[in-house]
């Protein structure tokens, strides 16, 4: 019996819309990353992009558990000398919550060119409106809403 090797066909890729209201950031990010990688399909192949497209709405209503909203920080460097920057997640979730969700998902993706390609299939929006109605996205419920 031969091993089945799926081809990278984008025609069967589906679009999912996920409402981030009252869902912990880490739980949302891990489940979105699994969908982007294609781990929810029986044809999952680690070396191929078999995942689906994901739209996350209401990113401003995503929660952080415990006291992380006050203690956790987002650190980055501007690539200039002395360019270390640090932003509290309290401010980040208030001003750029869609970016915070994107970064959380990015941290759970493979650290290679395939991971970057898969991350391009993620769309995040602060509010409840998105511009992908033409793709007929399927509403997907995430388990673990608080």
126 in a structural domain: yes
- Residues 56-106 have pLDDT tens digits of 999 999 999 999 999 999 999 999 999 999 999 999 999 999 999 999 999
CATH number of the domain enclosing 127: 3.90.1180.10
74 in a structural domain: yes
Is the pTM here over 0.85, yes or no?
yes
pLDDT at 10: 61
37 in a structural domain: yes
Q: Could you give the 3-state DSSP secondary structure of residue 5?
A: coil
9 in a structural domain: no
- For residue 131, the enclosing domain spans 15-140
Strands 84-88 and 73-77: antiparallel
91 in a structural domain: yes
pLDDT at 44: 86
8 in a structural domain: no
How many separate domains does the chain show?
A: 1
pLDDT at 146: 67
Angle at the Cα of 11 from the Cα atoms of 7 and 12, rounded to 5 degrees: 80
38 in a structural domain: yes
132 in a structural domain: yes
- Residues 34-69 have pLDDT tens digits of 999 999 988 888 888 889 999 999 999 999 999 999
């Amino acid at each position: 019996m031969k091993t089945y090797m799926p081809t990278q066909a984008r025609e069967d890729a589906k679009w999912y819309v996920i409402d981030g209201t009252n869902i912990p950031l880490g739980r949302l990010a891990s489940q979105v990353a699994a969908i982007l990688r294609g781990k929810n399909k029986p044809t999952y192949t680690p070396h191929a992009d078999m995942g689906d497209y994901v739209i996350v709405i209401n990113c401003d209503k995503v929660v952080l558990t415990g006291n992380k909203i006050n203690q956790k920080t987002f650190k980055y460097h501007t690539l200039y000398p002395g360019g270390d920057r640090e932003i509290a997640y309290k401010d980040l979730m208030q001003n750029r919550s869609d970016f915070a969700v994107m970064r959380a998902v990015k941290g759970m993706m493979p650290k290679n060119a395939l991971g970057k390609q898969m991350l391009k299939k993620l769309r995040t929006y602060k509010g409840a409106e998105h511009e992908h109605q033409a793709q007929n996205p399927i509403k997907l419920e995430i388990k673990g809403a608080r």
